[in-house]
Amino acid sequence: MPPELRRAFVILALIVTGIAVVWATQFDSMPPAEFSIQNGTDPKTLDPHRATGQPESRILFGIFSGLLQMLPDGEPDPVTGLQPMSAQPAVAESYDVAEDKRTYTFHLRPDAVWSDGVPITSADFAWSWTRMLHPETACEYNFQLFSIPYAEQFNSGVVNVGDRCEVELFDRPNPDGTTEADTGEVSFQNFPRGTMLYGTLKEIRKPPEPEFGEDVEEQEREQALLDWQEMWVFVLDIAQTSESGDVDWDGPTTTQSFAINLNSPLAAPDTQRIHSVLVAFDKLGGMETPDPHTFVVHLKDPLPYFPSLTAYYPLFPVPRHCIEEFGMPMWTKAENIVSNGAYVVSLRRLRDRVRLTKNPKWFAADQTSIETIDCLSTEGQNTALNMYVTGQIDWVTDPPVALMETLRERDDFYSAPMLSVYFYRLNTTRKPLDDPRVRKAIALAIDRRQIVEQVTKAGQVPAFALVPPGIAGYESPPGFEPDIAEAKRLLTAAGYPGGRGLPKVSVLYNTSEAHRAIAEVIQQQLQNNLNIKVELQNMEWGTFLDKIAQLDYDIARSAWIGDYADPNTFLDLWVTDGAQNSTGWSNADFDRLLKEAASESDLDKRMELLAAAEAIWIDEMPVIPLYFYVSVNMVKPRVKGFFPSPQDLHPLHLLSIDPSERQSR
What CATH number is given to the structural domain containing 213?
3.90.76.10
CATH number at residue 491: 3.10.105.10
Last residue in a domain, options 249, 275, 308? 308
Per residue in 620-664, pLDDT (tens digit) is 999 999 999 999 999 999 999 999 999 999 999 999 999 877 655
Q: What is the pLDDT of residue 215?
A: 83
- What is the domain count for the chain? 3
Q: Are residues 277 and 376 in the same domain?
A: no
Q: Are residues 557 and 544 in the same domain?
A: yes
Distance CA 499, CA 483 (A): 16
Q: Are residues 293 and 324 in the same domain?
A: no
Q: Are residues 232 and 357 in the same domain?
A: no
- What's the number of CA atoms in the CB half-sphere (13 Å) around residue 503? 8
Distance CA 589, CA 586 (A): 9
With 70 as the cut, is the pLDDT of residue 83 above it? yes
Distance CA 557, CA 546 (A): 13
Q: Are residues 373 and 496 in the same domain?
A: no
Cis peptide before 432 (omega within 30 of 0): yes
State which residues form the domain around 152.
87-308
User: Residue 212 CB: number of other CB atoms within 10 A?
Assistant: 13
Distance CA 453, CA 503 (A): 30
Q: What is the pLDDT of residue 366?
A: 96
Mean pLDDT along residues 283-287: 97
The secondary structure of residue 664, as a DSSP letter, is -
Per residue in 375-414, pLDDT (tens digit) is 999 989 999 999 999 999 999 999 998 899 999 999 999 9
CATH number at residue 349: 3.40.190.10
Mean pLDDT along residues 435-453: 97
Q: Are residues 603 and 551 in the same domain?
A: yes
Mean pLDDT along residues 222-233: 95
Q: Are residues 586 and 654 in the same domain?
A: no
Q: What is the pLDDT of residue 268?
A: 97
Per residue in 8-44, pLDDT (tens digit) is 544 444 444 444 444 443 444 678 999 999 999 999 9
Q: Tell me what the pLDDT averaged over the chain comes to.
A: 92
Q: Are residues 319 and 439 in the same domain?
A: no
Per residue in 483-535, pLDDT (tens digit) is 999 999 999 999 999 999 999 999 999 988 899 999 999 999 999 999 999 99
Mean pLDDT along residues 50-64: 95
Distance CA 310, CA 308 (A): 5
With 50 as the cut, is the pLDDT of residue 568 above it? yes
Q: What is the pLDDT of residue 185?
A: 86
Q: Are residues 327 and 464 in the same domain?
A: no
Per residue in 345-366, pLDDT (tens digit) is 999 999 999 999 999 999 999 9
The secondary structure of residue 503, as a DSSP letter, is P
Q: Are residues 447 and 331 in the same domain?
A: no
Q: What is the pLDDT of residue 218?
A: 80
Last residue in a domain, options 308, 340, 367? 308
- How many residues does the structure list for the chain? 665
Q: What is the pLDDT of residue 175?
A: 74
Q: Are residues 38 and 58 in the same domain?
A: yes
Q: Are residues 32 and 154 in the same domain?
A: no
